[in-house]
Amino acid sequence: MYSVSKHLFLISQTITKKMEKDLYRATIEGNVEALIKLIQEDPLILDRSMATTFGETPLHVAALLGHQQFTIELVTRKPELARELDSRGSSALHLASAKGHVGIIKALVALDPDMCFLRDKDGRNPIHIAGQKGRIGVLKELLGAESGAARALLQLRGETILHLCVDYCQFDAFQFLVENVDFQDLINCKDSNGNTILHLAVADKQIKTIDYLLDKTNIEVNSANANGQTAMDILVQSRRDKSDIEISEMLQNAGALKSTHIFPSTKHKSPIQTFPTPLSKSNITIQSANSSLASQDHPTTWEQYFNKQDEWLEKQRDSLMVVASLIASMGFTAGLTPPPGVLTFQHRLSAWGIYCRFLIYNTTSFISSLSIILLLVSGIPVRRRVFMWILMVIMWIAVSSTALTYAVSIETHTNSNEFTTKYGVLLIGVIIWLFLMTMLLVFHTARFGVMFAKKFKKVSSRGDNV
């Protein structure tokens, strides 16, 4: 009796597996007649498909492949299939939205419009998926069924559907949403990093999107993200591109500023009186204050030059690191394996012997380059002018010492007959190099001194006024 029951059970399992395979084949093909026949043979076949551990129901497969009639037949016979989720938390509506199957979208939202609010494991609902993929036809259907789902934020990063459109370069979908949904209050929404859609568009150099935002919306051009960066800061710090000039002009025409210029540009906007007033001590004080404020709002040529130098150094941080690392490697290698000509003189350690000079110049170059690397990784703000001046001086020392090391190495390879001529040419070259380096050092030291004197004068004048 037991063996008979077991045998019947195995037969039943075999039949069930065969029918499941037949259902899967019918779903892949979109064969409605085969589906109806299977349901007639086994009315519980769809219920069993919902109970599978994989989570992918026939409706998921049909929606993914775009079998519209097959999908309608499924949801008509078993409506609860529409709310089943696969292993990624996606419903059939998510998959149809991703693939752009408008007919299937209509059938599913007609069954239950609230499915527009269902989220997958990434926190995206079907409207988010459609915006991310740029499916405008799907967006029309979903917004018509439940436009409120378009205002939902992504749970992980706090992004809006507009962020997704810009992030995935879907300008047409972005434009459609802005023009057909009241998204003016979402235009300036920020994600978890404080980035607006303008930040994202500028970072990705999307000229068309930037132009549309600045011309057609109420986007705040000087909104700062969590790092205190405006759209202009993002442009300055992003990778170089041929579109930078055009984007910069568009932002400037819209009044965009860098974060360091926002507060000075918005202060002291009270109008200055132009009609004649009696001269008095108070009037003189007011006029001097106004003139000092005007000078702050409109920097002099020297101040503009200093600011450009500061910005240049900040942009060249990586380049300085590479150059310093290269010089350090050269110095380390030359110290361990000096040129053969220098080794000939290694026992002659007179005050300015060839080997002694080689060691001094090479060690100076090596230590200077290591100092630059240490300063760059120390976390000291690069925009500090004192720090900038120190870095430039050390770099000049490192480069000059490398040049002098080269000169000593060449000197050891010169024959005695040709020594006078070649050494004279070498000496002239070194003198010219040192002269140029000295001029640069004097110029930048004077520049630093002028800046320090002006700052000291400002501090003194404030103390006198107090």
Rg of the chain over Cα atoms, rounded to whole angstroms, equals 37
* Residue 309 and residue 213 share a domain: no
* Residue 129 and residue 29 share a domain: yes
Cβ pair 128, 97 in contact under 8 A: no
Residue 274, by phi and psi: left (phi above 0), alpha (psi -120 to 50) or beta? Answer: alpha
Distance of CA 35 to the CA centre of its chain: 50
Q: Measured between alpha carbons, how far is 365 from 399 in angstroms, rounded to an integer?
A: 7
Q: Measured between alpha carbons, how far is 200 from 264 in angstroms, rounded to an integer?
A: 26
Domain contains 358 = yes
* Residue 208 and residue 307 share a domain: no
Residue 374: which residues within 8 A CB-CB, separation 6 or more? none
Domain contains 329 = yes
pTM for this model (two decimals):
0.55
Last residue in a domain, options 168, 192, 217 = 217
* Residue 16 and residue 162 share a domain: yes
Domain contains 104 = yes
Work out the number of other CB atoms within 10 angstroms of the CB of residue 261.
Answer: 15
Query: Residue 158's domain is classified under what CATH number?
Result: 1.25.40.20
Q: Measured between alpha carbons, how far is 310 from 236 in angstroms, rounded to an integer?
A: 13
**Per-residue model confidence as pLDDT tens digits over 364-405:** 989 998 988 888 877 665 555 667 777 778 888 888 888 888
Domain contains 279 = no
Residue 214: pLDDT band (50, 70, 90) is very high
Of the candidates 398, 322, 409, the one whose C-alpha atom is nearest the C-alpha of residue 364 is: 398
Mean per-residue pLDDT of the chain = 78
Query: Of the ranges 158-172, 273-287, 306-320, which is most confident?
Result: 158-172
Asked if residue 293 has pLDDT above 60, the reply is: no
Domain contains 236 = no
* Higher local confidence (pLDDT), 173 or 420: 173
* Residue 136 and residue 26 share a domain: yes
* Higher local confidence (pLDDT), 251 or 355: 251
* Residue 52 and residue 173 share a domain: yes
Q: Which residues of 166-182 are buried (b: 16+ CB within 10 A; e: fewer)?
A: bbeebeebbbbbbeebe
Domain contains 140 = yes
Query: Of the ranges 24-28, 291-295, 392-396, 431-435, which is most confident?
Result: 24-28
**Per-residue model confidence as pLDDT tens digits over 40-58:** 888 888 888 877 655 689 9
Last residue in a domain, options 186, 217, 248 = 217
* Residue 455 and residue 308 share a domain: yes
Cβ pair 94, 82 in contact under 8 A: no
Domain contains 212 = yes
Over pLDDT 70: what percentage of the chain?
Answer: 72
**Per-residue model confidence as pLDDT tens digits over 311-330:** 555 556 677 788 888 888 88
* Residue 43 and residue 181 share a domain: yes
Q: Measured between alpha carbons, how far is 89 from 83 in angstroms, rounded to an integer?
A: 10
Q: Which pLDDT value is given to residue 283?
A: 41
Structure tokens belonging to residue 309: 């130098």
Asked if residue 269 has pLDDT above 90, the reply is: no
Asked if residue 274 has pLDDT above 80, the reply is: no
* Residue 185 and residue 41 share a domain: yes
Domain contains 235 = no
Region 126-132: what's the mean pLDDT? 95
Last residue in a domain, options 189, 217, 245 = 217
Strand residue runs (E) in 218-344: none
* Residue 173 and residue 75 share a domain: yes
Domain count, the chain: 2
Domain hosting residue 124, numbered range:
12-217
Of the candidates 439, 365, 361, 431, the one whose C-alpha atom is nearest the C-alpha of residue 395 is: 365
